Chain A
Amino acid sequence: MNETTRKIIIDPVTRVEGHGRVTVQLDEQGKVGNARFHIVEFRGFERFIQGHPYWEASLLVQRLCGICPVSHHLAAAKAIDQIYGVDPENLHPTATKIRRLLHYAQVFQSHALHFFYLASPDLLFGLDAPVEKRSVGAVALEHEELARKGIQMRQFGQELIKALAGKKIHGICAIPGGVHKTFYPEERDYFLAQNGKPSVDTMIEWSREVIDFMKAYHEQHFKWLDSFASYPSGHLGLVTDDGTLELYDGRMRAIDSSGEITLNDVHSNDYLKYFGEGVEKWSYMKFPFLRHLDRNTGWNRVGPLARMNVSDRISTPLADAEMSEFKAYTNGRPNNHTMHSHWARLIEILHCAELIKDLLNDPEILNEVDRAKVNRRPEGIGIIEAPRGTLIHHYQVDEKGMITKCNLIVSTTHNNEAMNRAVQWVAQNVLDQQKEISEGMLNQVEVAIRAFDPCLSCATHAMGQMPLMLTVLDANGKVVAEHVKGSS
């Protein structure tokens, strides 16, 4: 390798779901120009689901992902309900509660996976930690109790999913106009009772502990948490009619970086009026934006941080108190600190644990579900807040009920522009005019992307291997820096 030819490759990027590629373009003075986060894999689910009967959609599309299949299952189920002839408010109350319980278990386990397995090494060992420390294995060695609790929290969510859907991954809970099975008392009691394993009360207790850990960590490290990859953005999420954070069914609200409303609590079925999707030849992932603004100003973050920003309150008391504290830190103004996503994610873990407890104690959740009568429509739209953010499923069917069109806007796609801005921030603030690119510097690119908890497999609906690479190019597009980080 000579001095003028270096190529930086992260292969694969660690601790995100799926793979992608980052390129950093230098100008003639060696300063960073464009820095882009590319998704370079084929997108196929929207196409190959065409021609399938509508009731298959919620089963097929969950195969997009092994981490958040429940989210796709439920978003599709809500859309398919509409095609079946049932709007969310008309679904049997017990069916709604069972679906909500499943959804909260999914958000709980997914957030636990991200925080404990993927993100915690960044916080516990720092940006410049040696490579061998950047894994849950190192967390296990040096923070045994935290690691054990993280494992048990994810297990709790996974077991609840299994109880409701039959399997931890790719199970079946929702059917058009109802749910697949009744939730039985002995199943419910398993999660309420201690009996030698953690109960839902333990989950609430541990969720509070980990929030306390995060707040203490923030007190010690606020300089970098408040500045790293921090930049103004819009924020998008679902809220209830009174502005409360909503994960399963609500209205779409967006605000700009100063807090001004840019999308005023619109109904899910109207999403097409408000959202456009930009494309770039260098990425298969689209760039959603609000049509009445433009591509440069109409993009939004989604996910835990965005949800904290767009919501006025949380419906459960402990998480609501934490949200108040979170909002107070930025004096009630939108929080644009990317690394605060972890803090927001933990507040949602607590919120979900509280919601799960409430539903487990709700006698109605054990009722038999009467499935609604079919009254077919040609189109259905389902929107939920998946762990990573707003997830949109939209289907059209012909007179025989065969799917003719499918549009999916997944959380990571909403975050596409935001992740590109984060990469740009690291490139300009960390990699700019550096003669040598260290492992720690490379890790900072990953840390910025990782804060969004991206699911790149979902975003591209891709199959197979797609490693993320970081490449530095000179003004002529020639590779000038090369560095291999890790291996598959």
Chain B
Amino acid sequence: MSEDRPNENRPGLEPGTLVFGIGNSGRSDDGLGWAFLDRIQKETALGGQLEYRYQLQVEDAALISGVDRVIFIDSYRGDLPNGFQWTPCEPMKEFAFTTHVLPPGAVLSLCRDLYGKSPRANTLMVQGVCWDLQIGMSPEAERHLENALQFFRSYWQGES
């Protein structure tokens, strides 16, 4: 797994779509965001510009300013119906930033304030249960990942 693996524009998603997978595959289910991108990399019907991140960075505001659509995929600690949740994402009114946490809404807020751009944005949270220092996800997380992928495929077919 690598945060900086080569990015490519995939067929299926419109060219102006950017998909962030956020997490760390070295901490079990925290790798859900990256695993999601790994899976859609292999599917020709899905894709877009894919970016792997341990966490979002301030510089990502500049990246986002160049696209029409952005999707943030991250693991979630807590219960979600069917193990995932798809929600619209808006710029945060109260900006929050540490070098260890930068929420998607904060990046959108920076993008709007610095570059005058507000791309349409969604978050896809996938429920994890195990956060230990280990490679490989829990069976529950794998199941939630499948559910989320299934939803995403259907959603995207409806969009395109």
Q: Give the B-binding residues of A (Cβ under 8 A).
A: 12, 14-15, 17-18, 66-67, 113, 117-118, 132, 135-138, 140-141, 144, 147-148, 151-152, 154-155, 158, 162, 166-171, 463, 488
**A144-B113, A151-B59, A155-B59 given as contacts; is B54 within 8 A of A15 (CB)?**
no
Q: By the criterion CB–CB under 8 Å, are B114 and A140 in contact? A: yes
How long is the Cα–Cα vector from A207 to B94 in the complex, in angstroms? 30
Q: Which of A132, A140, A168 is within 8 Å of B4, CB to CB?
A: A168
* Contact, CB under 8 Å: A17 / B114: no
**Chain B, 100-155, CB within 8 A of any chain A CB:** 100-101, 106, 109-110, 113-115, 133
Partner of A151, one of B54, B62, B94, B99: B62
Q: Which 6 residue pairs are nearest across A and B when measured between Cβ atoms?
A: A137-B95, A167-B4, A140-B113, A140-B114, A155-B59, A135-B97
Distance, CA A256 to CA B59, complexed state (A): 40
Closest B residue, CB atoms, query A167: B4
Write out the residue numbers on chain B whose beta carbons fall within 8 Å of the beta carbon of A113: 99
Cβ–Cβ < 8 Å partners of A132 in chain B: 94-95
Contacts of A166 in B (CB 8 A): 4
CB pair A135 B95 closer than 8 Å: yes
Which residues of A are found within 8 Å of B106, using beta-carbon distances?
137
Chain B: interface residue total (CB-CB under 8 A): 24
Report yes or no: B95 in contact with A15, Cβ–Cβ below 8 A.
no
Residue B89 is within 8 A (CB to CB) of chain A in the complex: no
Q: Is the CB of B14 closer than 8 A to any CB of chain A?
A: no
Docked Cα-Cα span, A15 to B106, in Å, equals 15
Assess whether B59 is in contact with A15, with CB atoms less than 8 Å apart.
no
Known contacts A137-B106, A137-B109; is-contact A158 B98 (Cβ 8 Å): no
Q: Which residue of A lies closest to B111 (CB)?
A: A140
- Asked whether, in the complex, the Cβ of B58 is within 8 Å of the Cβ of A154, the reply is yes
B56 within 8 A of A: no
* A154 pairs with B59, CB closer than 8 A: yes
Q: Closest CB of chain B to A44's CB: distance in Å? A: 11
Interface of B is mostly: loop
Of B2, B62, B109, the residue contacting A152 (CB under 8 A) is B62
Q: Which of A12, A15, A167 meets B3, CB within 8 Å?
A: A167
- Decide: B98 and A12 in contact? CB cutoff 8 A: yes
Q: CA–CA, A67 to B101, complex, Å? A: 13
CA distance A124 to B51 in the complex (A): 33
Which of chain B's residues have a CB closer than 8 A to the CB of A138?
95
Docked pose: A151 CA to B111 CA in angstroms: 11
A169 and B4 within 8 A (CB): yes
B113 contacts which chain A residues (CB < 8 A)?
A: 137, 140-141, 144
Distance from A255 Cβ to chain B, minimum over Cβ atoms (Å): 31
Q: With a CB–CB cut-off of 8 A, which chain A residues contact B114?
A: 140, 144, 147-148, 151
Q: Please name the residue on chain B nearest to A147 by beta carbon.
A: B114
- Nearest CB in chain B to that of A159: its residue: B59
Q: Cα distance A418–B75 when bound, in Å?
A: 39
Chain A residues contacting B18 (CB-CB under 8 Å) are none
Q: How far is the CA of A20 from the CA of B108 in the complex (A)?
A: 29
Chain B 47-86 residues near chain A, CB threshold 8 A? 54-55, 58-59, 61-62
The interface residues of chain B lying within 8 Å CB-to-CB of A463 are 133
Q: Say yes or no for B96: interface residue by CB 8 A criterion.
A: yes
Assess the A151–B61 pair: CB atoms within 8 A: yes
Q: Are B59 and A17 in contact (CB under 8 A)?
A: no
CA distance A118 to B114 in the complex (A): 17
